[in-house]
Chains A and B, each alone.
Chain A
Amino acid sequence: MQAQKLIETFNTRREDFWRKEHEKRRARTAGRVSPRNPIASDVNFDCAREMYYGVTNPLARRDPGIQGSERMADGKLAAAAARRYLEDLGFEVVDVETPIEAFKRDGRLVYTGIIDFALVFDGARVPVESKEVSDFVFEEIDSYEDLEHFWWTRKYRGQVLVYLLQRSAPEGILLLTCQGKLKPIQVVLDDHLDDAELALQLGEQVDAAVKAGTPPPFAKDPTTCRTCWAFGVICQPPIEEQGALFLDDPELLDRLRRRAQNLKSHQEYEADDKWIKSRLKATIPEAKLKAAKAKDFLMRAICGDFAVSIVKRFRSGYVVKDVEYAEVKIAGVAAAGKQEDVA
């Protein structure tokens, strides 16, 4: 009974604590008189309008729930723990939670922000932005490109790039932390100059819009609005879907149906083929295969009424060139396998 009472007290205090914290934060935000600018952590490649409302209507943003607040607080603790760990590993940590010198272009203030810390390495200061993420995000992200996977990790890209630009640093680190685990992600400015330039243009666009008092255009892709805090609260974007073409093509429809009917057989064939070839390759003495030259190695086998031959081949290496192409994805929508009903 005592433990139960303790838990109830804990929950009540937790709610009170965060309510007061949010009130304090709101009072601070409301009392600000200094001009507001876009913040590096708010770079949103999908929607400049969201950035605009972040600057002009910060109080419209919903307070995070209790768990959200706790996660954010945990992020700060995780960043501090990561710093200490890096120091234990012998790195020199500098510029801890330092406001970046306001980023300006053509004399106009574009971004402000606070850098988590920098590491001194080979005589250079490498900016580091630390982010506490959940387990599945930690496992999923291994590179700058992987940050594209989640709408919230997309923002990390712009933030680090702005820091690199502001500090004229060629490289930086996005340090993912998760339950004590660390994963540094390399960010090379030269490899992502397009993104960096876009981030700057967004900042300038938002800054100009704030001064003019006119919000930038709505996001082009209405699906980005689904996760936006401003959607329906202060931003009412129209929804415009271009829809799909009706293809009045009986031959195409027949082929699509035949393709769907054969899909299972295709998958079974692929799985069997993979299993069989793997089993057959396992019968080859590895040393013999390695020693033999291409085409010199030939092994024959008989299994029931099947004849098998295994030959060593040589394949020249090649680099796949960058190319833009149209990818076609086909999905049946017949939930109960009644594909014939779909016109």
Chain B
Amino acid sequence: MAAEVKPRATTATLEDQPPLAPLPDDIRKEETELQTVVRRTTMDALTMKDGITEKDVERMLAARLKIVQTMRLFALKLTQPEDWTLWRDNEGHVVATPRASAMLRVRPWFNVSVFNHRSMDGRPGEPTTSEIQKGDKKVTVLEMQCDVRLGTDILEGIPFSIRSDDQFIGRAAREERYGGPREQDLLSCLRTGLDKKAIAMAIGITKVPETELAAAGIDVKRCYKGSGYGSSSERSAGKVAEEGVPELAKALWDEIVRRTGGNVGEAKQVLVDITKRGPDPKKKDDKGFRGLDSHERFTQAWQVKLAEKALAVHEVFGDTPQGQ
């Protein structure tokens, strides 16, 4: 909030709550000073203001920026870690994208409308459907667009599409063993995804840096993992490394190398020794595990802990080696 704007005590009652968008004219007469600033700082309003000075513009834009930042932070704080998916690029930058559940938490708090759902060629209420061949499989592609309004700002023609072989299509993905996703699942998934995208764009949380999410108090370790965190099959099998595991594994590896006197070949053999295990006689057909030959293959903290314990009792490089 800019310092020039004098705060006004507000005694809001249920009657003051604005009705569904669009807002009727009479509500605007009762708006708070903060709301007035937001409305008057749209670009159109600025250009139409008589005798406007640079200082006025600066003050109003600063106020608008503050509002946008406040709304964004508020939106982030309304969410839970499980409402986000993390994506890591080749350079290690991590961004988070909201899942549909995030929008369900956030949207009731914003004067947001999503409307005019239509196909890409404008048929109301219908998606555009097409099929493409992928190997010996047919993949269905569904597309749809809509408009979204936040307050008085409108974004038109927001497109969204899903494919029947997408990884992130909710319930539809889980039906693979029963003959793949059903048409109705894909359709509802398309709609949910489109609404999510539109609302995220309107509120300004389409992509959020991991650091900003953490600063808003979200435990990013509990977020879902997307591209950049192992392969899709590894992710679905829960094999993607926990947060902090690579560091633990690297520390273990450095310790092994130190104990082997810098002999990397020998260190690798020690790593295999301390991570392998024989067949479990209690489990039928258990073939045991032949060990890890690289510390980068650790994915869980408990694996590192077990390896540390095994290293401590290693017969040659353990804490009390044989012969001592």
Contact = CB atoms under 8 A, between A and B. Distances in A.
B111 A243 contact: yes
* Central interface residue in B10, B179, B218, by most chain A CB within 10 Å: B10
Contacts of B168: none
B7 A250 contact: yes
A337 B217 contact: yes
B115 interface: yes
Given A248-B10, A333-B77, A337-B217, A241 B113 contact: yes
Contacts of A62: 182, 184-185
A106 to B, nearest CB: 33
A271 interface: no
Interface in A239-255: 239-252
A335 B217 contact: yes
Given A60-B184, A326-B14, A335-B77, A239 B104 contact: no
B116 interface: yes
A212 interface: no
A342 B78 CA distance: 11
A2 interface: no
Interface stretch (A23-31, A71-79, A227-235): A227-235
A240 B184 contact: no
A236 B104 contact: no
Contact of B175 (A60, A65, A241): A65
Interface residues of A, number: 40
Given A250-B7, A343-B70, A243 B109 contact: yes
B18 interface: yes
Contact of B188 (A232, A243, A337, A342): A232
B289 interface: no
A268 interface: no
B295 interface: no
Given A241-B110, A244-B110, A246-B32, A335 B218 contact: yes
A232 B195 CA distance: 10
B3 interface: no
B267 interface: no
A247 B12 contact: yes
Given A62-B185, A248-B8, A334 B110 contact: no
A295 interface: no
Contacts of A343: 1, 70, 74
A342 B32 CA distance: 18
A236 B125 contact: yes
Contact of B117 (A63, A66, A236): A236
A239 B112 contact: yes
A242 B111 contact: yes
Interface in B115-173: 115-117, 124-125
A248 B34 contact: yes
A245 B178 contact: no
B323 interface: no
B162 to A, nearest CB: 11
Interface in A301-343: 326, 333-338, 341-343
B5 to A, nearest CB: 9
* Central interface residue in B77, B112, B116, B199, by most chain A CB within 10 Å: B77
Contacts of A247: 10, 12, 32
B222 to A, nearest CB: 11
A342 B115 contact: no
Contacts of B184: 60-62, 229, 233
Given A243-B108, A243-B111, A251-B9, 4 more contacts: A19-B179, A231-B191, A238-B115, A248-B7
Interface of B: 1, 7-10, 12, 14, 16-21, 32-35, 70, 73-74, 77-78, 104, 107-117, 124-125, 175, 177-179, 182, 184-185, 187-192, 195, 199, 216-219
Interface of A: 15, 19, 60-63, 65-66, 223, 226, 229, 231-233, 236, 238-252, 326, 333-338, 341-343
15 contacts: A19-B179, A62-B185, A65-B178, A226-B104, A229-B184, A240-B115, A241-B108, A242-B18, A243-B109, A244-B108, A244-B109, A244-B111, A246-B35, A247-B12, A342-B73
